[in-house]
Amino acid sequence: MNDPILEAKNIEKWYGPTPALRDMSLVIGRGEIVAVTGPSGCGKSTLLHCLSGILRPDQGSVQFQQRDITNVSEATRSRLRRTAFGVLFQFGQIVPELTAVENVTLPLQLGGSRFRDAAVRAQRLLDRLGVGDLAGKRPGEMSGGQQQRVALARALVTEPEVLFADEPTGALDSLAGEQVMVELVRLAGDHGTTVLVVTHNVQVAAYADREITMRDGQLETAGQVTVAGEAR
Ligand SMILES: Nc1ncnc2c1ncn2[C@@H]1O[C@H](COP(=O)(O)OP(=O)(O)OP(=O)(O)O)[C@@H](O)[C@H]1O
């Protein structure tokens, strides 16, 4: 495996009396594309939220680039999420009142970029994703697949180290979903971005270098580790 970029060590997460993660350990190599699969309720989203610093595990630790991110301040975690991590969800994350280009510039502007500079980068990425001509349109004027490409552009515009994707094609038909995955894998490969994708969909999991299956808050299998890039 390439050098580890993310590591969960014996993490546990409970929601009241319900265990969502139980003594879960996992290492993800830099540049790997890892799919997390398993039945509904097995803890996939909770794992993604703990690894991305959205949730703090009740026990155990998460390391990003060999640095503990579990016991750091909320401000540090939130800066990390803004600069080093990108997130892509099933739907609903792009702002309906804003145009595509405005949506994509948001993370850059939060990081202090001027709109004009951010818009140049956003437009370039929208062009690469085949939706450059929709830059001035609002989400309501786009198909689901086009909206998800805009969301993907927004997740990647800061060139994050890790992209966390939770059912990124779950709201799309299979053709549109496949197109989004092709673009996601292509852009991640170009930038060496590590990807963790939670999915129920075997076709989506097939894009990964490695598939991890969970059951009852624990790892069921951890598939063969491949050197990033070889399996794509
Ligand atoms: N906010 C919450 N409050 C209470 N229980 C929760 C909460 N979020 C998740 N759970 C419970 O924790 C367990 C793991 O949930 P999680 O959403 O991580 O699973 P999942 O594998 O992602 O499920 P799905 O595939 O259905 O999205 C489940 O039993 C779920 O009901």
Residue 173 is assigned to a structural domain of this protein: yes
Is residue 51 in some structural domain?
yes
Which of 122, 139, 159 is where one domain is finished? Answer: 159
Which of 91, 13, 26 minimizes the C-alpha distance to 54?
13
Residues 155 and 43 in one domain: no
Instruction: Say yes or no to pLDDT of 3 above 60.
Output: yes
Same domain membership, residue 177 and residue 106: no
59 C-beta neighbours (distance < 10 Å), count: 14
Record the pTM: 0.91
Q: Is the pLDDT of residue 228 over 50?
A: no
Number of domains within the chain = 2
Nearest ligand 1 atom to alpha carbon 13: 12
- Same-domain pairing of 169 and 73: yes
Q: Is the pLDDT of residue 63 over 90?
A: yes
Average pLDDT over all residues of the chain: 90
Query: Any residues with Cβ below 6 Å from ligand 1, and which?
Result: 15, 18, 20, 38, 40-46
Is residue 210 within 8 A of residue 223, CB to CB? The reply is yes
Radius of gyration of the chain (CA): 17
Q: Whose CA is nearest to atom 18 of ligand 1?
A: 43
Please check whether residues 131 and 175 belong to one and the same domain.
Answer: no
- Is 150 within the bounds of a domain? yes
- The pLDDT of 41-48, averaged and rounded, is 95
Judge if 43 and 145 occupy the same domain. Answer: no
Query: How far, in Å, is the centroid of ligand 1 from the Cα of 111?
Result: 31
* 212 vs 229: which has the higher pLDDT: 212
Residues 154 and 165 in one domain: no
pLDDT at 230 > cutoff 50: no
Q: What does the buried/exposed string (b/e) look like for 140-179 if buried means 16 or more CB atoms within 10 Å of the residue's CB?
A: eebebbbbbbbbbbbbbbbebbbbbbbbbbbbbeeebbbb
Domain-embedded: residue 89: no
pLDDT at 92 over 80: no
* Tokens coding 26: 């996992």
103 and 182 belong to one structural domain: no
Q: Which domain holds residue 115?
A: 96-159
Cα separation, 144 vs 165, in Å, equals 16
Domain boundary among 137, 159, 181: 159
222 pLDDT band (50/70/90 cuts)?
Answer: low
Tell me the mean pLDDT in the region 172-176.
86
56 within a domain of the structure (yes/no) = yes
Q: Whose CA is nearest to atom 27 of ligand 1?
A: 40
- The preferred substitution site among 11, 12, 14, 18 for testing ligand 1, maximizing ligand atoms within 8 Å of CB, is 18
Note every long-range contact of 56-59, with CB atoms under 8 Å and residues 24 or more positions apart, other chains counting: 57/8, 57/11, 57/12, 57/13, 57/21, 58/12, 58/13, 58/14, 59/10, 59/11, 59/12
| Higher per-residue pLDDT: 225 or 63 | 63
CA distance 227 to 232: 10
The stretch 28-37 carries a mean pLDDT of: 96
Provide the pLDDT for residue 160: 95
Pick the closest to residue 197 from 91, 92, 101, 88 (CA basis): 88
How far apart CA 1 and CA 7 sit, in angstroms, is 13
3 falls within a domain: yes
Residue that terminates a domain, selected from 159, 176, 196: 159
Same domain, 186 and 74: yes
pLDDT band at 227 (very low <50, low <70, confident <90, very high): very low
Question: What's the CA-to-centroid distance between 73 and ligand 1, angstroms?
Answer: 25
Task: Output 175 or 33, whichever has higher pLDDT.
Answer: 33
Say if 209 falls within a structural domain: yes
Higher pLDDT, 122 or 90: 122
The answer to whether residues 166 and 205 belong to one domain is yes
Residue 186, pLDDT > 60, answer: yes
Distance 45 CA to ligand 1 centre (A): 7
CATH number at residue 62: 3.40.50.300
